Amino acid sequence: MFPGKMKDMGKLLKQAQRAQEQMQEEIAALRLDGTAGGGAVTATLDGKKNLVALVIAKEVLEDPDPQMVADLVIAAVAEAGRKIDDEVERKMGALTSMLGLPPGMGF
């Protein structure tokens, strides 16, 4: 093999590992909201899609229809999940571009 090329490959792998670790930290720190019912329900997910906050408007609870409330919560959580997916995809695309990898060859 070519010693210079192996050294370059080792540097590239270390750089990729550092970038991946930083990306994982950024993703874990994400907090994105999803809403439903015109803002009647807001769900906040972290980057690992854990539900970290749920706000239900007082009006929804005044004369509650349990199925409607459940549907609004599900819709808000799903929207927040889509936003997390989109943001993770955007971040990973930026990382693979920075490393000079072709699309689809990310982590």
CA-nearest of 43, 36, 80 to 60 is 36
pTM reported for the whole predicted model:
0.76
Domains of the chain (ranges, CATH numbers): 3-98 (3.30.1310.10)
The helix/strand/coil state of 56 is strand
Average pLDDT per consecutive 10 residues, the chain (107 residues; last block may be shorter):
67 82 90 97 97 97 94 98 94 74 56
| Other C-beta atoms lying within 10 Å of the C-beta of residue 84 | 20
